[in-house]
Amino acid sequence: MMRNAVLLAFLMLSVIAPLPADTIVQRGAAPTSLKTVVLRYGPHERQAMTIYPSQSGAPPPLAVYVHGGAWRAGRHERVGSKPRWFNEAGWAFASIGYRVLPDAPVEDQARDLATGLRTLRREAKSLGFDSDRILLMGHSAGAHLAALLASDDQWLGEDRRAIRGVILLDGAGYDVTGEFNRRGMLARKLYADAFGTAPQRQRALSPLHHVDAGDPTDWLLVYARDRVDAVEQARSFGDTLQQAGLRVERVAEPRNHREINQDFGTPGYLSNDAVRAMMARIVCERVPSQPSMRPGACGN
């Protein structure tokens, strides 16, 4: 019980003050002194996203981040060092906000994120990034939502093809039914609040049950090596991805649930090399918009 209570506390630790409700487009400097663009894609104050444009020449790839918060909390503004990590590599970065419980069920959260991602692709030219080279990443509940968008084409449709890689940071809910049946009473309530108790709905919202060969081909699953449920989720979901013929790498971090997110890209983070390798593959991949971004570096 104490272990589940601590995990729930980690999941709820990302709430900050909302953006002004009347913001349409806001340009300025983030606390990290990086240039930012804030766009709204809907009327709710959470339906907003912050873009950190790249200063590189050719339109760069875009990394898109989905925050966690137990499907009921969290803020898209809390990104840690991720924007700087990607900007210094010549990439653009964006963090999408979305409505949460109790205002929006998980299905509406997925719809919000899909709308935000489509908006980003539509505005790619004005924002200066490549709309066909997107790396989608998320932490905790955000990892579940990122995996759902990447594995189930009902949310993004044809836009899903733009996702070239997926990074999941200590995610939960890849197999909702399995987790619901394995967890303790407190965690079961958390899952019941988010996914209900009907096995059909739980299965429909489980990325594991949507995996097929048409999903993005490149996946990185980062998880806390000492969190039993995280290890089990990474194993079962990663195995399912591999069985579909997709590229999967799993990294067991010696960090807790919160540190895996906040320490991303810092020295000593075990996943840094795996992230860089995925970024290089995305840069070199041939896509409709450009043959490859850096021909010399890609051996062609």
Quick one: what percent of the chain has pLDDT higher than 90? 75
Question: Which token pair is 74?
Answer: 């969290």
Look at residue 186 in the predicted model and tell me its pLDDT: 67
Strands 62-66 and 134-139: parallel
What does the pLDDT average to over 49-72? 94
What does the pLDDT average to over 231-244? 96
Give the CA distances from residue 50 to residues 34, 157, 190, 238, 275, in Å, rounded to whole numbers and listed in that order.
11, 23, 28, 30, 22
Whether pLDDT at 18 is above 60: no
Query: What are the extents of the domains in the chain?
Result: 2-298
What does the pLDDT average to over 66-77? 97
The per-residue pLDDT for range 204-234, each reduced to its tens digit, is 999 999 999 999 999 999 999 999 889 999 9
3-state secondary structure of 12: coil
Q: Cβ(64)–Cβ(137) under 8 Å?
A: yes
What does the pLDDT average to over 260-268? 95
- Global confidence as pTM: 0.87
Whether pLDDT at 150 is above 70: yes
CATH 3.40.50.1820 fits 2-298, yes or no: yes
* Eight-state DSSP code of residue 283: H
3-state secondary structure of 181: helix
More confident residue, 9 or 186: 186
Whether pLDDT at 9 is above 90: no
Distance CA 93, CA 4 (A): 33
Q: Among residues 137, 133, 138, which one has the least CA distance to residue 163?
A: 133
When pLDDT is cut at 50, 70 and 90, the band that residue 30 belongs to is very low
